[in-house]
Amino acid sequence: MYPINEVFQTIQGEGVFTGAPALFIRLQGCPVGCPWCDTQHTWEHKPEDEVSITAVVEKQAASSTWANVTPQQILKLFEQRGYTARHVVITGGEPAMYDLRPLGQVLEQAGYQLQIETSGTFEIRTTNKTWVTVSPKLDMPGGYLVRPDCMKRANEIKYPVAMQKHIDQFDKLLRSCPPSPEAIIALQPISQRPRATALAMRVCIERNWRLSVQLHKYLNIE
């Protein structure tokens, strides 16, 4: 069973799959505590907030309500609502708090491609085909450390930056927890701040990394 906060179809706005039609599954629960998080309503996993999957799908505004569902129920929901996207993004909250292998197996057998977006602070339990995006969260209030095994598993490392100290911290992480040589590294300016964007662009050009600009926020879509 998975605690689902949101399910919706949109355009992926970040990272390698920017521009791809995508189905987002947002899971409830995250103890990492990023100060700039724009989904803080997913942090607490309270029993009194449990509702039906219908109520979750029909949400008109962000809230902490969630529904407990099986992989088969999620697949059935996709079919009932006539979603056309075949790329599924599992996010949160912190999706790696949960064993995602059963969900991945069901959706992959039905022809979907999976991606997860994780802070890298919990063991990643996914299918081998799942595209893993690690967005390392360093020195956050929750006190969780980025795991070397998560960095090694990452297909893509998407790091949020606002100032030079974030680049310095990221360099230290890359030295202590080296990713796979095939991993794609991207910098993502925090909150579209001009100085952060300029910094990220400069470093990406210097190091031949990628820039992730959170396209969905510029387009004002979910």
pLDDT of res. 34 = 86
Give the residue numbers of the binding site for Mg(2+): 39
CATH code of the domain containing 91: 3.20.20.70
Torsion angle in degrees (nearest 10) through CA of 70, 23, 12, 55: -80
- Rounded to the nearest integer, the mean pLDDT of the chain is 93
Give the residue numbers of the binding site for substrate: 11-13, 26, 91
**Tens digits of per-residue pLDDT, 179-198?**
999 999 999 998 777 899 99
8-state DSSP, 222 = -
pLDDT-above-90 percentage for the chain: 82
The angle subtended at Cα 146 by Cα 12 and Cα 105, nearest 5°, is 50
Domain count, the chain: 1
How far apart CA 90 and CA 92 sit, in angstroms, is 7
Which domain range does residue 144 map to? Answer: 2-219
Q: Compute how many other C-beta atoms are within 10 angstroms of the C-beta atom of residue 63.
A: 15
Lowest mean pLDDT among 1-15, 107-121, 206-220: 206-220
8-state DSSP, 94 = -
pLDDT at residue 218 is higher than 60:
no
pLDDT at residue 170 is higher than 60:
yes
Give the residue numbers of the binding site: 11-13, 26, 30, 34, 36-39, 91, 93, 135-137
End-to-end CA gap in the chain: 25
With beta carbons less than 8 A apart as the criterion, state whether 16 and 116 touch. no
8-state DSSP, 141 = T
Give the residue numbers of the binding site for [4Fe-4S] cluster: 30, 34, 37
Give the residue numbers of the binding site for S-adenosyl-L-methionine: 36-38, 93, 135-137
